Amino acid sequence: MCGIVGFVGEQGDALPFIYAGLKRLEYRGYDSAGIALASDGQIALKKTRGKLEALGQLIGGMPAGVPCGIGHTRWATHGRPTDENAHPHTDCTGTIATVHNGIIENFQELRQWLVERGHHFSSDTDTEVIPHLLEEYGGQEDVVQAVQKAERRLKGAYAFLAISAREPNRIVAVRRSSPLVIGLGEDANYVASDFSAFLAQTRRAMVLENGEMAVVTPDAVHVMDMAGAVQRRQEFTIDWDIRQAERGGYPHFMLKEIMEQPDVWGDCLLGRTSGGAVVVEELGITREQLTAIRRIQVVAAGTAYHAGLVGKALIERLARVPVDVAVASEFRYQQPVFEPGTLVMAISQSGETADTLACINLARQEGMKTYAIVNTVGSTLARESDAVAFTHAGPEIAVASTKAYTTQILVLTLLALALAEAQGRARPDLVQGLLNLPLLGQDILSRLDGIQTMAERLSGQSDVFYIGRGLDYALAMEGQLKIKEIAYIHAEAYAAGELKHGTLALIEDGTPVVAIVTERDVAEKSISNILEVKARGAEVWAVVDEKLQKELPVDHVIPIPVLEPLLSPVLAALPLQMLAYWTAVHRGQDVDQPRNLAKSVTVE
Ligand code: M6R
């Protein structure tokens, strides 16, 4: 999703900061980039389709030592990824520049109105209406007032920055849903779509809330509502380590993020258990609130949805509280029925996924209690939900979610245990099992060399099936998403018992099938299903409870220590993530930024 960066300093040089800041936002996914500087009564502008390296070739000719500018990485929504459609966009006079994230829903009508008033457009974007509106409303004289007037005309979910060549010492930032954060430096201030853009410069930050604007100068940040009323805002310190946001020596962020999972699990569990029990308050909820829950409605997208499916099994088995899991983009338009006593639970790495946010807003409008399991502190979802449990996975940079997924499952497991206790159910002794996971995870990761051979074979295939039962089926769904997403291989996940109702017809000699068998109660049945596909010629690779490995008639086995079957998804996810990673590497794909995808999907 688009990345926004702005810099305004006493006398600093905006250009190198903006370029470096955009680099830090690369993980969000983009297809074009650009920078505008306010210099000598003019806007110096360079933009291009393609990656930042292409922009780097162009910016050499930009003026040095300019203390105010804005930059952007664009992920196309309106208009193809071309040089013209890249941001920043300017007004007719070329003295006002804007960058924008999100969607201006009424841009067609505004564009027509502006064209009738003599404005000339040079792109297909919705964004370009903003600088022209600013021009129309006197932005050359007073960009702040012009922003206030223009903003009243805009409909949609967006964030934008505006600079004027005539006022080269300030940036005006506007937030209407899409996130914007501000970094506070010594003799310069920063604006960006997320903290990682300026972490190398400062750890002091503040968040712009929905419906607010900020006038950012080198030595001050004035936050106000859109009518100009001053808003008090506390600054806070970001405790993320900058190295956490870098690759740490691995060739890809995804590999780094897979490998760091055992440590991250430790962080996620830290302080959340005591004496064999869950510390409920550390999940952002009280025991009384848990006791009152009659039903849970999970809303999420992609990998987070798959974590929700694991959570459903855990909560229903442990706490006997019914759980429905919905894809957020569907749920929001299905006129859902909210029963009293239902907790609406959103799961999200970014906390900015538009569909998931919309579900939470809908639930709140209906008077429901909302709860979020989120990774990103300060995200919109974290701030707009009634209660929050953070996953503490640290920044996840690769588009393919790995550590966010396993920590989401950990938090769901803790919640299931706490809920079981609050609802008066017998509480199985899973806490020690949870605390053992980091060590077991380390062990599994150190024994996965054999997966390279499988990945090499899989890299030459066009289709693969993932099968399992119960929790193993939920995990199969995540396994198939990973392989599609980064290796671009067609994959399907099937409940193993459902194969003979149709899918078995697709199995022929050499068809790869990844089978997951960690659910002891249904292991025999899963083995029968493996025999069915073997009999049709499938090549079967199995992620199995190590106690079963000798019984399995498969081509390759990845044994998993299953001390406690309910906790196995966290461990069994590791080989599935690695299989996808190495398959993508063998196919030569852009592992961290797969085609057509963005890390944070802030438009629906
Ligand atoms: O930030 P979120 O967890 O809300 O994102 C939801 C999905 O877009 C995300 O999980 C996506 O499916 C991943 N790229 C999958 O690896």
Tokens of 478: 């995540």
**Is the bond preceding residue 594 a cis peptide, omega within 30 degrees?**
no
Residue nearest to atom 10 of ligand 1 (CA): 303
Between strands 273-274 and 277-278, the pairing is antiparallel
Instruction: Characterize the bridge pairing of strands 188-192 and 3-9.
Output: antiparallel
* Structure tokens belonging to residue 37: 């500087």
List, in order of start, the domains of the chain with CATH numbers: 3-238 (3.60.20.10), 246-435 (3.40.50.10490), 449-591 (3.40.50.10490)
User: Which is the catalytic residue, given 46, 256, 403, 599?
Assistant: 599
Helices 431-446, 403-422: crossing angle, 10 deg rounding: 160
Among the atoms of ligand 1, which is closest to the Cα of residue 404?
3
Nearest CA to ligand 1 atom 11: 302
Ligand 1 centroid–CA 600 distance in Å is 7
Cβ atoms within 10 Å, residue 373: 33
How far, in Å, from the CA of 309 to the mean position of ligand 1? 14
Distance in Å from the first CA to the final CA of the chain:
12
- Residue 598 Cα, ligand 1 centroid: separation in angstroms? 9
Task: Pick out the chain residues at pLDDT < 70.
Answer: 1, 28-29, 77, 240-249, 377
Take atom 12 of ligand 1 and give the residue whose Cα is closest: 302
Q: Which atom of ligand 1 is nearest to the CA of 401?
A: 16
Q: pLDDT value at position 231?
A: 95
Closest residue by Cα to atom 8, ligand 1, is: 302
Q: In what order do the strands lie in the sheet with 342-348?
A: 323-327, 295-300, 342-348, 369-374, 387-390
Ligand 1 atom nearest to CA at 376: 1
Residue 525 burial (CB count, 10 A): 15
Percentage with pLDDT > 70 across the chain:
98
Ligand 1: which residues within 6 Å by Cβ? 301-304, 348-350, 353, 356, 399-401, 481, 485, 600-601
- Token code pair at residue 50: 């393609």
- Residue-wise pLDDT tens digits, 74-125: 977 677 789 999 999 999 999 999 999 987 889 999 999 999 999 999 999 9
Do residues 466 and 480 touch, judged by C-beta distance below 8 A? yes
Longest dimension (CA), the chain: 79
pLDDT for the residue numbered 485: 97
The alpha carbon of 225 and the centre of ligand 1 are apart by a number of angstroms equal to 31
- Report the separation in Å between the CA atom of 599 and the middle of ligand 1, taken as the mean of its atom positions: 7
Nearest CA to ligand 1 atom 9: 302
Mutation choice for ligand 1 from 254, 353, 373, 401, CB with most ligand atoms inside 8 A = 401
Ligand 1 midpoint to CA 64 (Å): 39
Q: What is the pLDDT of residue 238?
A: 82
Distance (Å, rounded) from C-alpha 41 to C-alpha 168? Answer: 8
Exposed, middle or buried by CB within 10 Å (0-12, 13-18, 19+), for 83?
middle
599: annotated active-site residue = yes
pLDDT tens track for 550-563: 878 889 999 999 88
Give the model's pLDDT for residue 69.
97
- Per residue in 329-371, pLDDT tens? 999 999 999 999 999 999 999 999 999 999 999 999 999 999 9
At residue 460, the pLDDT reads 95
Quote the ligand 1 centre to 47 CA distance (angstroms): 29
d(CA 59, CA 532): 61
Closest atom of ligand 1 to CA, residue 353:
4
Q: Which of 517, 573, 476 is nearest to 262 (CA)?
A: 573
Question: Residue 170 has what pLDDT?
Answer: 95
CA 166 to chain centre: 38
CA–CA–CA angle 56, 61, 62 (5° rounding):
90
Closest ligand 1 atom, CA of 301?
A: 6
- Tell which one of 258, 349, 411 to mutate to probe ligand 1, the residue whose CB is within 8 A of the most ligand atoms: 349
